[in-house]
Amino acid sequence: MSLSPSLPYSRRTYRVAVGFLFFLLGLCFASWGSRIPSIQANLHLSEAQLGLILFSLPVGLMLSLPFTGWLIPRVGSRNAVTVGLLFYSLVLVSIGLAETTFQLVIALFFFGFGSNMANIAVNTQAVGVENMYRKSIMASFHGLWSLAGFTGAAIGTFMIGANVIPFHHFLLILAMVVVGVAVCFRYILPQDDTPKEKQPLFVMPDKSLVVLGMIAFCSLICEGAMFDWSGIYFKKVVGAEKAWVAAGYTAFMSTMAGTRFIADWLTTKLGLQKVLVLSGSLTAVGLMVAVLFPYLVTAIIGFLLVGMGVSAVVPLVYGEAGRSKTMSPSTGLAAVTTIGFAGFLVGPPLIGLVAGMSNLRISFALIAVMGVTVAVLSSRAKME
């Protein structure tokens, strides 16, 4: 999408508005992630049980992928991101109301569904704004998502320390999303740059998109481990005191956010391939530091490295997918996300099941292999 004279606002206005939507999306997810230990304790769940329950979130996400890729070209990403974000935040509140494992499973399923609708729609908006600038700015949008994650983790830490129940915590987040969406709606792109022909419900990506999807798949397993298990790792392996349980998650999100703000510049200087190889290497090293030295300071350092490692992978992959020559931005994003977010499908329950048979340290060591795989796949792929 190029900057059109018919658009009433400047490209910077659209960039700020879309960036704020990324922030709201990240705030919702981080709010859930920061309260997983509380919800686990409230429902008396073991690691294996929690791992199986977490399976429902990526199932909802995966099942929504073809539908979302089909829907957005028809209703527009502006409408889809508005409805998706509101639905996402409403389901977040329902997670706080869950009193049984069945209720939690249903809530997480729809949480994943709403997450993906909002995610693909806001990334479609980001591709449009990026095309206005004619340079890579996708990572900066994802940086705002991560900054929101850091903010959400900090709010979660405060809420835990103040003994605020998840339901009341999530109500506050819902109110913030409603206000934010109402303010931003008029300032987001009204139209998408999509082909006029009808888009199929299922799309088979070409070889280049498959490779990008595989890289994202491995990275998202690592990322999902941080989101869903970092608090539990610090609580049960590191043995952190209550006030420090969310420290690993906060460390991860802080470097993930900070690195994304320089990832576009770094990619311009080094190239996509070198940045992805470096990303996978940092992820593997960080996880192994946390596994081999499970103490408060060293584990925090390890999680800081993991945040740096995974930071650039998904935004760079999404940026490439959104510029596909063979399909619309939303459909290309949906096709690659189908492959990539299978990592979210595999990661959380895998960690829980392996931890149930052995322990969390072994689970995290296995996840470190995914970081190595990102580096290997990236080094062998043909990239510009």
Q: Which domains does the chain have, with CATH numbers?
A: 11-188+201-380 (1.20.1250.20)
Q: Which of 138, 122, 127 is nearest to 315 (CA)?
A: 138
**Average pLDDT score over residue span 39-62:** 86
pLDDT at 146: 78
Total length of the chain: 384
What pLDDT band is residue 202 in, cutting at 50, 70 and 90? Answer: low
Tell me the angle at which helices 360-380 and 272-292 cross, rounded to the nearest 10 degrees: 160
The tokens for 130 are 């990026």
pLDDT at 2: 44
DSSP 100: S
Q: Express each pLDDT in 292-321 by its tens digit.
A: 999 999 999 999 999 999 999 998 888 877
Among 122-131, 287-296, 306-315, where is mean pLDDT lowest?
122-131
What lies within 8 Å, CB to CB, of 332 at 6+ separation is 205, 209, 321, 322, 323, 324, 326
**Average pLDDT score over residue span 22-27:** 95
pLDDT at 353: 82
Q: Which residue has the higher pLDDT, 320 or 199?
A: 320
Residue 334 to residue 290: CA distance in whole angstroms = 33
**Average pLDDT score over residue span 104-130:** 92
pLDDT at 125: 92
The tokens for 331 are 């459909």
What pLDDT band is residue 326 in, cutting at 50, 70 and 90? Answer: low
Residue 283 to residue 268: CA distance in whole angstroms = 21
**Average pLDDT score over residue span 101-106:** 95
Q: What is the pTM of this model?
A: 0.77
Half-sphere exposure of 257 (CA within 13 A, CB side): 21
Q: Taking 80 as the threshold, does the pLDDT of residue 266 lie above it?
A: yes
Quote the mean pLDDT of the chain: 87
pLDDT at 204: 63
pLDDT at 74: 85
